[in-house]
Structure 1
């Protein structure tokens, strides 16, 4: 399992390139040789998911094996598989976010890279701050969370 945590404020240039922070870049280099997959997040609109290639290679067959006769499964497959972009960090530790994914997540210059254990999320800074300011409004807490003591 990867060890991505914390949040990182980063910038994207006019061409859609962003530099991965050094600590994250080093971890990516160790676990997958800097090879990653960037895709749309099916749970949070306006957010991208960044998987080390090794994690993606475990997840992808599970997504493909879902019974696609159900509308929500087809949507998940279209979003995750249909938007997946394989990438490799360049010599400066940068990646180029494809225009379709930049539009999906409303990415402009200021971004937030958020560690999620085995993957990363990429948000526009504005949307990330708005998400933090939202109240969850979700009173249905799964039993696993009820048992968790922080």
Structure 2
């Protein structure tokens, strides 16, 4: 599994081209030949950038869902809505399709943030809001989500 690291600000051009930070470019370079998948996030107004390998792993999990169960079919449709294959050009830019820029409200100032095996792409203002909102209850959330995990591993 890939583990990306970092949060970086960058700029989007009018046509949706975004220059990837040099730190992420180094992390993405080993995967650039296969291309990347970009999609809408499930819970936030941002985009998710997958390496093709990570996307294929996700599709393997999703393909096991029974398509004759309506909620599974609805989930698959929504999860894959607007999915695009993108490539990083020689200068380290990716072209984000207009409909995905519109979904994430990406206009100029962009934040790219690692999220374990994917990179989230945010409008800077939306990213700051999401971080601020999460900060209010982060200690409680950390305890609830991770509280038993560490002690279980130490046993």
Could you tell me the TM-score, scaled by structure 2's length? 0.82
TM-superposed CA distance for 1:140, in Å, is: 7.2
TM-superposed CA distance for 1:78, in Å, is: 2.2
TM-superposed CA distance for 1:92, in Å, is: 0.9
Which residue of 1 is the match for residue 30 of structure 2? 30
Which residue of 2 is the match for residue 99 of structure 1? 98
TM-superposed CA distance for 1:117, in Å, is: 1.8
TM-superposed CA distance for 1:141, in Å, is: 7.1
| Counterpart Cα distance in 2 of 1:7 and 1:141 | 20
Change (3 A) 1:141 1:29: closer
Q: Is the 8 A contact 2:32 2:88 kept in 1?
A: no
| Counterpart Cα distance in 2 of 1:121 and 1:138 | 22
Q: Which has the higher helix share?
A: 2
- Superimposed CA distance per residue, residues 6-42 of structure 1 (whole angstroms, 9 cap, x where no aligned partner): 2101110001000111121122111353611000111
Return structure 1 stretches of 4+ with deviation > 3 angstroms: 73-76, 136-144
Residues matched between the structures, number: 147
Q: Is the 8 A contact 1:28 1:34 kept in 2?
A: no
**Gap runs ≥5 in structure 2:** 151-155
Which residue of 2 is the match for residue 10 of structure 1? 10
Alignment RMSD (CA, Å): 2.4
